[in-house]
Amino acid sequence: MFEHLKEKLAQGREVREIEAMDARELDEIGLSRDDLISVAQTPNAVRERMEAMAAVHGVSASILNENRVDYVELLAKCRHCGQTAHCADFLGDARAAGDGADFCPNHSDYVALAAATH
């Protein structure tokens, strides 16, 4: 419970910082204010799960972060996915491989990112 409250407070601070950004700062980042707020309001567990699934597909967190627009889209799909339990079970299996993750709404995107970066 305490961790959840800490996360919500941190998210609130991030949103306030994003709302205070001027157009030049947003241009430098390359994302809209709404996209940044959406990312800031996404629970850490979703981001961690998305990065873990990307890693299973051979896509590193640094590759995700370099492709900011893709990151926002991937995160939105992950955030609204109805396969959370299946995903957790899959990621909990040490033998998990990307080709077995076709249930993931980001599967084809991860495959394409992996192919483009290798």
Q: What is the pLDDT of residue 106?
A: 96
**Token pair of 111 as six digits:** 């495959």
d(CA 114, CA 58) in angstroms, rounded, equals 6
Q: Which amino acid, residue 39?
A: V
List CB contacts of 43: < 8 A, sequence separation 6 or more: 7
How does pLDDT run across 57-95, given as a tens digit for each residue? Answer: 999 999 998 888 889 999 999 999 999 999 999 999 988
Q: What is the pLDDT of residue 98?
A: 85
Please tell me the pTM assigned to this model: 0.80
Q: Is a pLDDT exceeding 90 seen at residue 117?
A: no
How does pLDDT run across 16-67, given as a tens digit for each residue? Answer: 999 999 999 989 988 899 999 988 989 989 999 999 999 999 999 999 988 8
